[in-house]
Amino acid sequence: MPTSHRPDFKAFREESKEQLKRGTEYKDHFLWPYVNQEDLSQTKLMPLLLNARGRHSPPNSPQPTTTLYTGLVTEVMTPIFLNECTMVVHGVTTAAEYGKLVAWD
């Protein structure tokens, strides 16, 4: 687990653009930019995180594209494309339906 707040920015500053594109050793920093020791060691933030996750189901939580923006812009992460399919994440009320792949036909 990264030690500092917003480890994706730290990784962006430490590695060159070529290193980031080839495959950074900090990929987890871009996948989980808000999970780090500095923030979780503060007394109020961990209970707030657990409370938010317990009160809001995944369809009502912020979508990953907002938190993964730095990784997408720097091309550390590449969005996966599956032709003729859509993943359902909005408006779903059950865990079985969340993230379900639906064919276009």
26-80 pLDDT per residue, tens: 778 877 777 888 888 888 888 888 888 788 777 676 665 666 777 888 888 777 7
Q: Sketch the domain layout of the chain as residue ranges.
A: 7-78
pLDDT of residue 66: 64
pLDDT of residue 65: 60
Q: Is the pLDDT of residue 15 over 70?
A: yes
Residues 87-104, mean pLDDT to the nearest whole number: 81
Q: DSSP per residue over 25-66, as a string?
A: TTHHHHHSTT--HHHHTSTTHHHHHHHHHHHS-GGGSPPHHH
Phi then psi for 63, rounded to 5 degrees? -80, 150
Could you tell me the pTM of the whole model?
0.56
